Amino acid sequence: MKAAIIVLLVLSLAANALLWRRVAALEKAAVAPNDFPLGENMGYLQRYADKLWYAAEAGNWDLARYYHDEMKETAETIESAHVTKDDVAISATLHRMLPPALQGVDKAIDARNAGIFRERYQALVTTCNACHVTAKHPFMRIVVPVGPPAQWNQDFSPQH
């Protein structure tokens, strides 16, 4: 009897968890492209890129893999939102530009090669900045992190 109750409880909890996951997915899908939190998601990309750099610099390739994958998932979220801002198809532009740069970083992580990683990371940063120019945000410039992790990997100075 106790076993049957436990099984029913576990099944009930599992069904409830699946239901809430489905509701969350439907709510996420219901966001109109113009209501999509683009800045927030771009901020996640920046934060993950920053942590990716520091993980690789420390030789923590498993952690670098984790942050690479977080960047890829966040990019896919932005792509699936079909965001257009200021007559620029942001999601489509990101879809064209970011995956090749992430693939280069992916290969460097697989090789566990810090030298190749630094080259591929610089290419990633260059891609981010090229995308920002395309998106009419040239003032948004990302840089390779310097110094301890307390600093951001963004240049906040005015554009000349």
Report pLDDT digits (tens) over 120-155.
Answer: 999 999 999 999 999 999 999 999 998 767 665 645
DSSP 8-state symbol, 31: S
Tokens 């998106």 label which residue?
135
Residues 67 and 139 in one domain: yes
0.85 exceeded by pTM: no
Residue 90 near residue 38 (C-beta atoms within 8 A): yes
E strands within 1-155? 84-85, 88-89, 141-142, 154-155
Structural domain includes residue 64: yes
Q: Print the domain residue range for 14.
A: 1-30
Length of the chain: 160
In the chain, the number of structural domains is 2
* Distance set, CA 95 to CA 61, 77, 92, 138 (Å): 25, 10, 5, 19
Tell me the pLDDT tens digit for each residue of 37-82.
999 999 999 999 998 998 898 898 988 999 999 999 999 999 999 9
Return the closest-CA partner of residue 31 out of 80, 70, 68, 75.
Answer: 80
Residue 148 in any domain: the answer is yes
